[in-house]
Amino acid sequence: MKLYNIKQHDEQVTFYQALIQGLGKDQGLFFPVDLPKFSALEINSMLEMNFIERSVHILSTYIGSELSKNSILSCVQNAFNFPVPLVFIKNNIAILELFHGPTLAFKDFGSRLMAQMLNKVNHQFDKPMVILTATSGDTGAAVAHAFVDLSNIHVIILYPKGKISVLQERLFCTLGGNISTISVDGDFDSCQFLVKKAFEDNILRQILDLNSANSINISRLLAQVCYYFEGISQLPHQMHNKLVIAVPSGNFGNLTAGLLAQSCGLPVKKFIVATNMNDTVPRFLKNGYWEPHPTVSTFSNAMDVSCPNNWPRIEELFRRENRSIKELKYGCVNDMLTEKTVQEISDLGYLSEPHTAVAYRLLSDQLDSDEFGICLGTAHPVKFKELVECFLKKKIQVVLPVSLKERMRLPILSYETSKCFSSLRNLILKIVS
């Protein structure tokens, strides 16, 4: 697989390089040189396959000879080891539940596949591989669970002390083994600042092979292409060409993956871009001006992003295929309407949460009578239990997965540090030695 840097087209890399490097020169995103195309016949036979077999087929078509089919198979089997049900909540709308992974959000797909793939290429390096990342809560959990037991890769996660929820902290700070967590006496920005300093630090770079495992990595997008196919495979054939998919969006990785799936032949009629009041993209699609406002906090906090870092990939895809960005439907939903929508969905007998509700609102409002809608369910309602209970004015009964319940009782294993970089450096060196 060959990829180029969107900002400097002459910088080309292999899949391995893009996987390890993440970003190209000038912070440019990598984009595939060749976009695979499957015929309608091939798509139909792919939709007959099971999730694992089909995902191997899709990934090996993209990646080519750099990873053998068998290697991809073992990555996929280890990464995608949880169900992806499509749940019909109305005669014309279904929710694709992407939250049955270990950290109860769709980010498990991308993080887990990336971890498995890095584990495959890791033997080529002579320095210890260290994943260093800062989290405000959710990403850290997804990354930690993705890498746990891949013992030749160290994972170090920084988080702001006292500023993440109890459930979040227990979720990723109790794992031990190759997963180390550090609570920093500061806020999320100071964690991010420390991580940035570490990547620039010559002492650390000499000794370690640092990787950030963040969401712009191409392997994470490819993982997500696979579940769009899985969702559609669960629909009757006659609905295929009337299909509208609503994507709750923050950094726009999820939408990028959906558009890639459509580009290689998956029958989707249109996509709806759904944001909360951090609506840079809906405003851009409406009036053509890219004008990010300061980020505001909303109920759907994983979508509180005003400068979405995957957006250039979406523009690149439309440019490459001579399509107009105007094809995208869009909208934004404020907190009040999000709350009302969680109630409305609950009246249909389905428990949702704010992110999913944002997408459902726009889907339900914009769906034509001859269309069928899929709304991506990106997080498990239990992750937002307090909020959802407050919206519905009642206690909700959700069964926490057993593994999670047990985890809630384990001790926190985190190290602590100040905002001072040299003490972080010493701590990192101690952890990996």
Ligand X SMILES: *Cc1c(COP(=O)(O)O)cnc(C)c1O
Q: Would you list the DSSP string of 95-123?
A: EEE---STTSBTHHHHHHHHHHHHHHHGG
Binding of residue 378 to ligand X (CB under 6 A): yes
Binding of residue 231 to ligand X (CB under 6 A): no
Binding of residue 352 to ligand X (CB under 6 A): no
Q: How far is the CB of 252 from ligand X (least distance, A)?
A: 5
**Do residues 315 and 325 touch, judged by C-beta distance below 8 A?**
yes
- How far is it, in rounded angstroms, from Cα 376 to Cα 274? 10
Residue range at the interface with ligand X (CB under 6 A); choices 186-194, 195-203, 243-251, 325-333? 243-251
Q: For the segment 121-160, give every residue that binds ligand X (CB under 6 A).
A: 138
Q: Which is nearer to ligand X, 4 or 252 (CB)?
A: 252
Starting at the earlier edge strand, list the strands of the sheet with 2-5. 12-14, 2-5, 30-32
Binding of residue 222 to ligand X (CB under 6 A): no
Q: Which is nearer to ligand X, 240 or 380 (CB)?
A: 380
Binding of residue 279 to ligand X (CB under 6 A): no
Binding of residue 380 to ligand X (CB under 6 A): no
User: CA of 190: how far to CAs of 213, 228, 257, 424, in Å?
Assistant: 19, 36, 31, 12
- How far is it, in rounded angstroms, from Cα 320 to Cα 33? 10
Q: Which is nearer to ligand X, 120 or 383 (CB)?
A: 383
Residue range at the interface with ligand X (CB under 6 A); choices 157-165, 244-252, 311-319, 326-334? 244-252
**Do residues 383 and 167 touch, judged by C-beta distance below 8 A?**
yes
Q: Which is nearer to ligand X, 373 or 381 (CB)?
A: 381
**Do residues 65 and 56 touch, judged by C-beta distance below 8 A?**
no
Binding of residue 355 to ligand X (CB under 6 A): yes
Q: How far is the CB of 429 from ligand X (least distance, A)?
A: 32
Binding of residue 254 to ligand X (CB under 6 A): yes
User: CA of 19: how far to CAs of 4, 120, 146, 250, in Å?
Assistant: 13, 11, 15, 22
Give, for 5, the enclosing helix (H) or strand (E): strand 2-5
Q: For the segment 95-124, give every residue that binds ligand X (CB under 6 A).
A: 105, 107
Q: Which is nearer to ligand X, 15 or 109 (CB)?
A: 109
Of the candidates 29, 150, 171, 303, which one interacts with ligand X according to CB under 6 A? Answer: 303
Binding of residue 313 to ligand X (CB under 6 A): no
Q: Which is nearer to ligand X, 178 or 214 (CB)?
A: 214
**Residue 245 contacts by C-beta under 8 Å, 6 or more apart in sequence?**
228, 231, 258, 268, 270, 271, 272, 373, 374, 375, 376
Of the candidates 101, 248, 258, 373, which one interacts with ligand X according to CB under 6 A? Answer: 248
Binding of residue 230 to ligand X (CB under 6 A): no
Binding of residue 258 to ligand X (CB under 6 A): no
**Do residues 157 and 133 touch, judged by C-beta distance below 8 A?**
yes
- How far is it, in rounded angstroms, from Cα 104 to Cα 115? 17
Q: How far is the CB of 75 from ligand X (least distance, A)?
A: 21
Q: How far is the CB of 353 from ligand X (least distance, A)?
A: 8
Q: Which is nearer to ligand X, 160 or 248 (CB)?
A: 248
Binding of residue 249 to ligand X (CB under 6 A): yes
Binding mask 391-420 for ligand X (x = CB under 6 A): ------------------------------
Q: Which is nearer to ligand X, 22 or 253 (CB)?
A: 253
> Quick one: angle between helices 51-63 and 69-79, nearest 10?
130
Q: How far is the CB of 41 from ligand X (least distance, A)?
A: 31
Q: For the segment 10-39, give every residue that binds ligand X (CB under 6 A).
A: none
- How far is it, in rounded angstroms, from Cα 142 to Cα 110? 9
Q: How far is the CB of 215 from ligand X (least distance, A)?
A: 6
Which residues in 98-212 belong to E strands, given as ranges? 129-134, 153-160, 179-184, 209-211
Give, for 167, the enclosing helix (H) or strand (E): helix 166-172
Binding of residue 363 to ligand X (CB under 6 A): no
Q: How far is the CB of 152 from ligand X (least distance, A)?
A: 28
Fill in the DSSP letter of residue 379. B
To which residue do tokens 């995208």 refer? 328
- 3-class secondary structure for 346-401? HHCCCCCCHHHHHHHHHHHHHCCCCCEEEEEECECHHHHHHHHHHHHCCCCCCCCC
**Do residues 181 and 172 touch, judged by C-beta distance below 8 A?**
yes
Binding of residue 280 to ligand X (CB under 6 A): no
Of the candidates 22, 24, 250, 331, which one interacts with ligand X according to CB under 6 A? Answer: 250
Binding of residue 362 to ligand X (CB under 6 A): no
Tokens of 60: 């090996």
> Residues in the site for ligand X, rule: CB under 6 A?
105, 107, 138, 248-254, 302-303, 355, 378-379
